[in-house]
Structure 1
Amino acid sequence: MIFVVAGTQDGRELVKLLLDEGYDVAASVVSHYGGELLAHACGNSCLINDRPLDEVALKAYLEEHDIRLLVDASHPYAANVSCNAMAVCAAMNLPYIRYERDLTKLDYDRITVVHSYEEAAVEAAALGKKIFLTTGSRNLDKFVHSPALADCELTARVLPTAEVLVLCESLGVDAGHVVALQGPFSQELNVELFRKYSAEVIITKNSGTLGGTDTKLAAAKELGLPIVLIDRPRLAYPCIGHDYASILDFVRKYSSQRLHQLN
């Protein structure tokens, strides 16, 4: 069985492709909502795990389900997830391949590239007082609690789930500063949202075209707004593919080798 770390849209697409190729697939997501999206995409053909898996739990899961290969299609900024997957695969001598989205070209001169959420808060505070966050909810606390942003007005665009809305409320982000929508978003919608909330600075990540980075950059450029962009973590992946074909070729190659060994 193949295990796919599938907390993204491209992860779901890879699961569907592998199922269509006739492989048995188990997939892991980071939330109940992610599990619903995957189940909707793949029906009952895929074994779905929606519980958090640290390194110990991941190893136990792979052993329990006789996993023979791991495809890491986790979010580009989920560094801990990838580090755990690589460590477990190395310890178990399992083939590992990382699916990595291409980076969005940064062709706008009002982009400040940073390497942490904390640095993003400091840079954004120097550029304006009304900050529009497009970085999701998982690190929202780092902005809310940042001393640099104490005098700033934060608007957060997040997923429209009960869990996320409760988190926003617990952090003191009121309903008037929460944009609860499921992406992707067009350039036009981004422009309207940035205007509606009188954004002066946009904070985002380089999540690639599928993550909507290109339309956010285009909208900010249209409005002349500065962007603070949090760069991707730099990890030493042992094997990497940038398109679905590369992942399928890796899986087919390993599967053929495995079949030859069994014969």
Structure 2
Amino acid sequence: MIILLGETAAAREISACLRSRKLELVRMQTWSERTCLHSPNLIIDASPPSSSLKFAPLRNWCEQRNIPYLRLERPETIIPDNPLIYPVVNWEDALLQLEQRVCTLSQEKGRLITIFVTTGSHQLETIVQSSFARLARLVIRVLPEGRLVQKCQDMGISPRDIVAMQGQFSKEVNRVLFKFYGADILFTRDSGLAGGTDTKISAALELGLEIVLIKRNTICQGLTVNSVKELLDWVDANA
């Protein structure tokens, strides 16, 4: 049995390919030891980079039992050297940087500052409840799933400020969206080329937006591949 982690586009592609190979597959978004009463033969982690810490106990669990833990890790994006980009290493630092930038821009412009958020709905409540939220308008881009849209609305995000779309997005699409919503700040994380980080950054810079970017953490992932094809080749050779 193979356990597949993640709700990314890559995870969906992997799921379809593995099922076409008639392999027994279980998809999970969260994990606890109780979910693995029957030990799997392989764990495939195709979750976003932000989930690395969340699944660290599972990696340890697999290591103790000699179960392969295969991580799909998108290559890190080469970030241009630009004064409009504010790189941070974690969510807490991102909130501090957002507070500084929102307060500064609010004083300069004398109005609400629009933050275009592409980190999804995860931990969004910490922005909504932050001290700088009163100075900001939040525009949230999430996957077009009812539960995610509802989650945003439950936190008080207006429907007009929820962009429910499935990527990848070209530079042109990002540019149009940022301009349409009047974005002042892009808040994003490095999800690699496959996650469209490069096109988001280039579009934002072209419009003169400030960018608060959560960089990739460097936790060791064990077995790592950099593409769906490489992952499937490994499964074919080892599963």
Range class of TM-score, shorter chain: 0.7 to 0.9
Partners of 2:8 and 2:46 within 8 A in 1: yes
**What does residue 7 of structure 1 align with?**
7
Taking the aligned partners of 1:3 and 1:155, their CA distance within structure 2 comes to 34
**What does residue 100 of structure 2 align with?**
126
Taking the aligned partners of 2:50 and 2:150, their CA distance within structure 1 comes to 23
**What does residue 260 of structure 1 align with?**
none
Taking the aligned partners of 2:76 and 2:124, their CA distance within structure 1 comes to 23
Taking the aligned partners of 1:105 and 1:71, their CA distance within structure 2 comes to 26
Q: Does 1:141 align with 2:107?
A: no
Partners of 2:3 and 2:42 within 8 A in 1: yes
Q: Does 1:28 align with 2:27?
A: yes
Q: Deviations over 1:102-147 (max 9, x none)?
A: 1121125121111222322331233332211111111211111111
Deviates more, 1:246-255 or 1:89-98: 246-255
Structure 1 moving runs of 4+ over 6 Å: none
3-state SS of 1:204 partner: strand
Aligned AA for 1:75?
Answer: P
3-state SS of 2:177 partner: helix
- How many residue pairs were aligned? 228
Q: Deviations over 1:15-62 (max 9, x none)?
A: 344445x351313143xxxxxxxxxxxxxxxxxxxxxx43223322xx
Partners of 1:131 and 1:152 within 8 A in 2: yes
Taking the aligned partners of 2:58 and 2:134, their CA distance within structure 1 comes to 37
What is the aligned counterpart of 1:69 among 28, 42, 48?
42
**What does residue 235 of structure 1 align with?**
219
Aligned AA for 1:101?
Answer: R
Partners of 2:189 and 2:213 within 8 A in 1: yes
Taking the aligned partners of 1:252 and 1:180, their CA distance within structure 2 comes to 35
Query: Cα offset for 1:13?
Result: 2.4
Aligned AA for 1:26?
Answer: L
TM-score by length of 2: 0.85
What is the aligned counterpart of 2:85 among 93, 100, 111?
111
Partners of 1:72 and 1:96 within 8 A in 2: yes
Q: Deviations over 1:127-181 (max 9, x none)?
A: 3322111111112111111113332222111223222222222211112322222
Aligned AA for 1:169?
Answer: Q
Partners of 2:4 and 2:28 within 8 A in 1: no
Query: Cα offset for 1:205?
Result: 0.6
RMSD of aligned C-alpha atoms?
A: 2.2
What is the aligned counterpart of 1:168 among 133, 137, 152?
152
Partners of 1:101 and 1:208 within 8 A in 2: yes
Taking the aligned partners of 2:212 and 2:89, their CA distance within structure 1 comes to 10
Taking the aligned partners of 2:220 and 2:180, their CA distance within structure 1 comes to 41
**What does residue 109 of structure 2 align with?**
none
Aligned AA for 1:135?
Answer: T
Query: Cα offset for 1:222?
Result: 1.2
Aligned AA for 1:111?
Answer: I
**What does residue 31 of structure 2 align with?**
54
**What does residue 89 of structure 1 align with?**
62
Taking the aligned partners of 2:143 and 2:17, their CA distance within structure 1 comes to 26
Partners of 1:117 and 1:142 within 8 A in 2: no
Deviates more, 1:10-19 or 1:196-205: 10-19
Shift of the 159–55 alpha-carbon distance from structure 1 to 2, 3 Å rule, reads: same
3-state SS of 2:150 partner: helix
Partners of 1:59 and 1:88 within 8 A in 2: no
3-state SS of 1:126 partner: helix
Shift of the 250–165 alpha-carbon distance from structure 1 to 2, 3 Å rule, reads: closer
Aligned AA for 1:56?
Answer: E
Taking the aligned partners of 1:82 and 1:111, their CA distance within structure 2 comes to 29
**What does residue 52 of structure 2 align with?**
79
- Gaps of at least 5 residues in structure 2 are 106-112
Query: Cα offset for 1:188?
Result: 1.3
3-state SS of 2:93 partner: helix
Partners of 2:76 and 2:216 within 8 A in 1: no
